[in-house]
Amino acid sequence: MITMKDIIKEGHPTLRLTAEELPIPVSPEVKQLGKDMLTFLINSQDPELAEKYQLRAGVGLAAPQVNQSIRMIAVHIPGIEEGIDEPILSTVMINPKIVSHSVQNACLAEGEGCLSVDRDVPGYVPRHSRVTVTYYDLEGNKHKKRLKNYPAIVVQHEIDHINGIMFYDHINEESPYYLEEGMDVIS
Ligand SMILES: O=CN(O)C[C@@H](CC1CCCC1)C(=O)N1NCCC[C@H]1C(=O)Nc1ccccn1
Ligand code: NI
């Protein structure tokens, strides 16, 4: 199982590579890694397992974060209401691609963090407010999903990782909380 020791930290060169496209259908090893990445996220959001294995709760994970420079991400976004078991989005995306996006940008009111970054980096992280993403699932089926708000932010954070981009690359250095015209602030 994936635990925090498997997650590489900023400064590790793999985090700055552009990851390789995967041939479809994926190999059994890649399939297993995808399942392990999703399981990590689910475990990390379970208070008992997170405590037992000292996991930092996460909603997304990209293969480069476990030192695999391939274009595969996992997201597990819990339902907002307490106790609603159905997650908003729980899947592994292979060769995810943003095929279209809104002109409007959005950012999380709290800023962003990263399981590969052991420090707080304050500031708004401007992203597309809405995205249309195509990807393959672990069975080799092609999907197209339109995402907005928090799920759109999460998927963009993960796709950044397979392109060697860290969230703080987007923060305005002079004015970290600069709000461009029409920015949607998501809380
Ligand atoms: O690349 C992937 N990562 O670096 C894991 C990140 C991904 C998110 C950061 C902003 C958008 C995607 C992650 O999940 N976090 N960032 C660091 C610590 C907190 C944690 C988090 O937001 N946890 C969470 C949130 C809601 C419910 C449960 N847990
Ligand atoms: Ni991250």
Question: Across the chain, which distance is largest between two alpha carbons, in Å?
Answer: 47
21 CA from centroid of ligand 1 (Å): 24
Confirm whether pTM is higher than 0.90. Answer: yes
Chain-centre distance for alpha carbon 30: 18
Beta bridge partners of 75: 60, 91
**What percent of the residues of the chain are helix, what percent strand, and what percent coil, each to the nearest 5?**
30, 25, 45
Q: State the distance from the centre of ligand 2 to the C-alpha of 87, rounded, in angstroms.
A: 19
Where do we find the tokens 């909380």? 177
Question: Binding site residues for Fe cation, as ranges?
Answer: 114, 157, 161
Given its phi and psi angles, is residue 123 left (phi above 0), alpha (psi -120 to 50 degrees) or beta?
left
The count of other CB atoms within 10 Å of the CB of residue 34 is 23
CA 70, 52, 116, 157 torsion: positive or negative? positive
pLDDT tens figures, 18-68:
999 999 999 999 999 999 999 999 999 999 999 999 999 999 999 999 999
Helical ranges in the chain per DSSP H: 28-44, 47-53, 149-162
Q: Judge whether 123 and 19 are in contact, CB under 8 Å.
A: no
What is the C-alpha end-to-end distance of the chain, expressed in Å? Answer: 32
Phi-psi region of 140 (alpha: psi -120 to 50; beta: other; left: phi over 0): left
70-118: pLDDT as tens digits: 999 999 999 876 666 799 999 999 999 999 999 999 999 999 999 999 9
Residue 95: half-sphere exposure toward Cβ, Cα within 13 Å: 14
Tens digits of residue pLDDT in 139-150: 999 999 999 999
Atom of ligand 1 nearest to the CA of 115: 4
Residue 83 pLDDT: 61
Kindly give the pairing relationship between strand 89-101 and strand 72-77.
Answer: antiparallel
Which residue CA neighbors atom 3 of ligand 1 most closely? 114
Short-list 55, 60, 113, 134, CA closest to 90:
60
pLDDT at 80: 76
pLDDT higher than threshold 90 for residue 11: yes
Of the residues 46, 115, 169, 187, which should be mutated to test ligand 1's pocket, given the most ligand atoms within 8 Å of the CB?
A: 115
Query: What is the pLDDT, as a whole number, of residue 108?
Result: 98
DSSP state of 149: H
State the pLDDT at residue 43. 97
Give 13-185's CATH code, choosing from 3.90.550.50, 2.170.130.30, 3.90.45.10, 3.40.50.150.
3.90.45.10
Three-state SS at 14: helix
